[in-house]
Amino acid sequence: MIRIIFLSAAVLMLAACNATESRGAGQDGQTGSPAAKAPPRPGNGRDLPARSVFDAMPDFNGIGPLRFGMGADEMRKAWGAPLYGEAQPNDPKACHYLRPGKDDYDLLLMVEGDRFVRVDVKTDEKAAPGGGRVGMTAQQIEKLYAGHVTAMPGKYDAAARVLSIASPQDEQARLIFETDASGVVKSWRIGVAPQVDYVEGCG
């Protein structure tokens, strides 16, 4: 009787081992190791640039791989994904905007004279150099950039504020926050003079 029980247990253990080997077969030729994933198919979205490109924060030299002074074609090549917006204007000196998102106007890239000159931001998802964001108050901005802020009244509303911060490296580059009459930042921009001072953008 004992011999029968021992033999039955041995048969069960052998069956379990065979099942494990069967599950591992065909997976990179190694028992239990996962099979290699098939390469992503073109056009399924996985062949887009890394999210770090799209999540890049503007700085006093541009945004991500886009540097102020680049031409529009150079920008498209450096970005590695479509830049939507107006086509190259007939007038090579004309101002126009490009944008990373097809239907997203919260991040705009100004090009004038076929040179990348400015970034406009209207979302709190992008932080300015130093930490300023849409939604902050004028007091918070002045505290954050203490000693470096030049404040002026808004062009169309004297109660609004335009807060300008010069780049510590390039006196032509500036960061500008615009508030509404209640003192809350509604947008900001960063770029080189004179384009960074355009109140109406390309208008």
Instruction: Note if the bond before 39 is cis, omega within 30 degrees.
Output: no
Alpha-carbon distance 61 to 106, whole Å? 19
Return the CATH number of the domain spanning residue range 51-197. 2.60.460
Output the average pLDDT for the chain: 80
- Six token digits for residue 80: 């590695």
Mean pLDDT of 57-85: 93
Of 90 and 161, which is predicted with more confidence?
161
Lowest mean pLDDT among 89-98, 124-133, 194-203: 89-98
Hey, which of 5-9, 28-32, 56-60, 99-103 has the most confident mean pLDDT?
Answer: 56-60
Distances (CA, A) of 86 to 80, 118, 151, 185: 18, 16, 33, 27
Residues 6+ apart with CB under 8 A from 157: 180, 181
Give residue 74's pLDDT.
Answer: 95
Give residue 144's pLDDT.
Answer: 97
Helix (H, G, I), strand (E, B) or coil at 111: strand
Give residue 55's pLDDT.
Answer: 87
Selection from 90, 86, 114, 89 nearest residue 98 by Cα: 86
Alpha-carbon distance 150 to 166, whole Å? 9
Q: Are 190 and 125 in contact (CB under 8 A)?
A: no
pTM to 2 decimals?
0.74
Band of the pLDDT at 31, cuts 50, 70, 90?
very low
Give residue 60's pLDDT.
Answer: 96
Give residue 54's pLDDT.
Answer: 81
Per-residue model confidence as pLDDT tens digits over 139-183: 999 999 999 999 999 999 999 999 999 998 877 899 999 999 999
